[in-house]
């Protein structure tokens, strides 16, 4: 293998360590928060450096998650391909990657954005990499409900990056993602229940059974559909967003009800994938509506 090919291989391994698909959704919702924070176009500096800093810290948190869970990942088909279970990267290399990227991200946020965003991002890092990964995930089936607070922070971070404060509107975006997280993740846990059972992780389908989990997916999805109407209720958004939220939420509730009535692993997988599309589409509708109201 040539030096260039080896360098490319190592880069791909470290890139996989940062969970790019997860980080891309984090960055997307953070950027939406930035654009919703101001009436027009936000200043370029906070957008560019805020996005870079948040992405670096999110990648570092993902690497710590992989480091802590490498033995669990070996037992699960969904995660056994990751660099640590495959022996492609060592624990030391992973820790160094997380320290360098996470540290760089925090420095960028502190020096080039604002201290509030840096502290909020650091708190999010600790919440996901330590509180959720180390404490909650192996201890309670409610791990994703409590730990979902960290995953719901990106739009708050984006808002803080542009304005330097966190108003009620930013917290409303947080609430939407917070309520979205359980049905999103439990749909995955339903069709990956054997993986979690083999890894002895107390995910809801393992500890409380399939039917109970399906009922919780319905409950949280209905709650989510209601919560997503709040931006219109408080006049944060207009009719375009309202119509989008009703259609997207109706489809999500339909999937949840079908999971409860006629469950199959294929349907759970489809529901999980739709939940990702749902969140991206919902936040996109918020952004479009934001600028439509300025016309």
Q: Are 1-166 and 167-295 in the same CATH fold? A: no
CA 277, CA 265: separation in Å to the nearest integer?
19
Look at residue 208 and give its three-state secondary structure: helix
- The radius of gyration of the chain's CA atoms, rounded to the nearest angstrom, is 19
The domain limits of the chain are: 1-166, 167-295
Which of 245, 190, 183, 250 is CA-nearest to residue 218?
A: 183
CA 31, CA 25: separation in Å to the nearest integer?
10
pLDDT surpassing 70 at residue 68:
yes
Task: Provide the pLDDT for residue 180.
Answer: 97
Could you give the residue ranges of the DSSP H alpha helices within 152-227?
154-163, 168-191, 193-198, 204-208, 210-227
Please give the DSSP secondary-structure letter assigned to residue 165: S
Model confidence over 77-99: pLDDT tens digits?
888 888 888 888 899 999 999 99
Six-digit token string for 138:
């192996």
Its pTM stands at: 0.93
How far are the Cα atoms of 62, 124, 185, 245 from residue 147, in angstroms, in the given order?
Answer: 14, 10, 11, 25
Residue of higher predicted confidence among 265 and 9: 265
Find out whether 65 and 24 touch, Cβ atoms under 8 Å: no
Write down the CATH number for the domain with range 167-295.
1.20.120
Mean pLDDT of the chain: 92
Sequence-ordered list of residues with C-beta below 8 angstroms from that of 90, at least 6 positions apart, any chain: none
Q: pLDDT class for 222, splitting at 50, 70, 90?
A: very high
CA 214, CA 162: separation in Å to the nearest integer?
39
Top-ranked range on mean pLDDT: pick from 19-23, 115-119, 127-131, 138-142:
115-119
Which of 124, 148, 125 is CA-nearest to residue 136?
A: 148
Look at residue 15 and give its three-state secondary structure: helix
pLDDT surpassing 90 at residue 59:
yes
Sequence-ordered list of residues with C-beta below 8 angstroms from that of 151, at least 6 positions apart, any chain: 26, 128, 177, 178, 181
Task: Provide the pLDDT for residue 88.
Answer: 87
Look at residue 79 and give its three-state secondary structure: coil
Task: Provide the pLDDT for residue 185.
Answer: 93
Find out whether 147 and 65 touch, Cβ atoms under 8 Å: no
Using the structure block, give the residue that is written with the tokens 């999980």. Answer: 272
Please give the DSSP secondary-structure letter assigned to residue 82: S
CA 215, CA 218: separation in Å to the nearest integer?
5
pLDDT surpassing 70 at residue 1:
no
Find out whether 172 and 230 touch, Cβ atoms under 8 Å: yes
Please give the DSSP secondary-structure letter assigned to residue 135: I
Third-level CATH fold of 1-166: Tetracycline Repressor; domain 2 (1.10.357)
Model confidence over 155-211: pLDDT tens digits?
999 999 999 999 999 999 999 999 999 999 999 999 999 888 888 888 899 999 999
Task: Provide the pLDDT for residue 77.
Answer: 84
Task: Provide the pLDDT for residue 87.
Answer: 86
pLDDT surpassing 80 at residue 238:
yes
Q: pLDDT class for 71, splitting at 50, 70, 90?
A: confident
């Amino acid at each position: 293998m040539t030096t260039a090919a080896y360098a490319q291989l190592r880069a791909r391994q470290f890139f996989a360590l940062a969970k790019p698909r997860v980080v891309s959704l984090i960055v997307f919702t953070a950027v939406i928060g930035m654009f919703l924070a101001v009436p027009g176009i936000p200043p370029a500096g906070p957008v560019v450096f805020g996005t870079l800093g948040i992405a670096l810290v999110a990648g570092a948190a993902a690497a710590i998650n992989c480091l802590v869970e490498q033995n669990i990942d070996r037992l699960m088909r969904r995660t056994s391909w990751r660099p640590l279970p495959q022996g492609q990267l060592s624990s030391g290399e992973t820790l160094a990657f997380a320290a360098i990227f996470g540290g760089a991200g925090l420095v960028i946020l502190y020096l080039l954005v604002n201290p509030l965003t840096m502290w909020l991002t650091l708190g999010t890092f600790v919440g996901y990499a330590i509180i959720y990964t180390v404490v909650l995930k192996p201890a309670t089936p409610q791990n994703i409900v409590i730990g979902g607070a960290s995953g719901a922070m990106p739009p708050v971070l984006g808002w803080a990056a542009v304005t330097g404060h966190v108003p009620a509107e930013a917290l409303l975006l947080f609430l939407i993602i917070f309520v979205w997280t359980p049905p999103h993740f439990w749909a995955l846990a339903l069709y990956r229940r054997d993986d979690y059972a083999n890894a002895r992780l107390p995910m809801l389908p393992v500890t409380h059974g399939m039917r109970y989990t399906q009922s919780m997916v319905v409950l949280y999805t209905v709650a989510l559909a209601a919560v997503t109407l709040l931006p219109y209720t408080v006049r944060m958004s207009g009719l375009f967003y309202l119509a989008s939220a009703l259609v997207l939420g109706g489809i999500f509730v339909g999937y949840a009800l079908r999971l409860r009535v006629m469950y199959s692993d294929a349907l759970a997988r489809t529901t999980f994938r739709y939940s990702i599309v749902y969140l991206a589409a919902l936040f996109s509708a918020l952004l479009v509506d934001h600028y439509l109201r300025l016309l």
